[in-house]
Amino acid sequence: MIKYSFIIPVYNVKKYLKQCIDSILSQTYHNYEIILVDDGSSDGSELMCDEYAQTHECVTSVHQKNAGASVARNNGINYAKGEYILFLDSDDYWRLNDGLERIDTLAKNHPDIIYFTSKTYSEFSDKWSDDRYDYPDEMNHLSPMESLEYMVKNDCLNFHTAKRAYRKQFLVENNLFFKPNIRTEDVEVGYRIVNCLPTYQFLNEKIYVYRQREGSVTRTIGYNHLREFAEIICAYAEFSYVNERVKELMLSYTAYQYALFLAHISARKDKESKELCKSMRKYTYLFHYRDYPRTKKIAQLYSVFGYHLTKTALRYYLKMRL
């Protein structure tokens, strides 16, 4: 049986695709497949997918009409034969040739999810930065509930899809597919995953490389993106969580997402943004949930200075953060 399935949505990334695929083909652990899901590319990326499939038995090339990364990932899940699924963005890559071998040392425990960490490379500054997340070995001995509690309280909960290996059966049985036609699909499915209380293992190794480049989704945040973000905040502020403690932890985490939303939306001057910001003011009650460390600091600020001054402070915080 194939142990790992790598799913790589591909859309007009000819310049970066070879490095992405080759970083997996160079792995020292070989029981894997690569599923390239071409999302209607027109720059030659689609031809590269077919070329790799023709020359490497472990590579499958799938073509679909342009429908976005969520649909491409879901399509890839349906094709996957592996026990575990890993996602890559096609302009990123793995930096460690033995990354999969290291992950496999934890897979013997059959967790639902295996976390690992990353580095970020900026094409703009030609500089590297380390992932801020840290997973001490003690986390590998925690129950699902204890794992969630630790991640929230120690600021190491993240919803980055590409920095985790998922047991396929866990995803399929819980209907954990990606919501189509949104750019915040990682965050949206992340909430549903957490609510299933999966079993975890953690690998404190920087395996993945995020590439910041012109035109990447994470570099452009417009009104539609913020509207989607607001919809997720609304949905998971009012979600039916599996138990009261999960609710408290996730509302504390959601409060920080809400703070980021306020920072972004308050910097915009258009009428639509002002109306959206006004409609989201009712969610300030989220600041009462303070398990997440960053939320606690913002909540203290809010309790002293109120809504408008906190928005201003968050706007300046965001500028420094970026």
pLDDT in tens, 256-285: 999 999 999 988 889 999 999 999 999 999
Ranges of each domain in the chain: 4-218, 221-321
Residue range 40-74, pLDDT digits in tens: 999 999 999 999 999 999 999 999 999 999 999 99
Q: Measured at the alpha carbon of residue 282, what is the angle toward residues 276 and 287, in degrees to the nearest 5? A: 115
- pLDDT mean over 190-216: 92
Q: How many CA atoms lie within 13 A of 110 on its CB side?
A: 2
Burial 256-271 (b: 16+ CB within 10 A, else e): bbbbbbbbbbbbbeee
Nearest to 256 by CA among 220, 231, 290, 303: 290
Q: What CATH topology corresponds to 4-218?
A: Spore Coat Polysaccharide Biosynthesis Protein SpsA; Chain A (3.90.550)
pLDDT in tens, 98-153: 999 999 999 999 999 999 999 999 998 889 999 888 899 999 999 999 999 999 99
Residue 217 has pLDDT above 50, yes or no: no
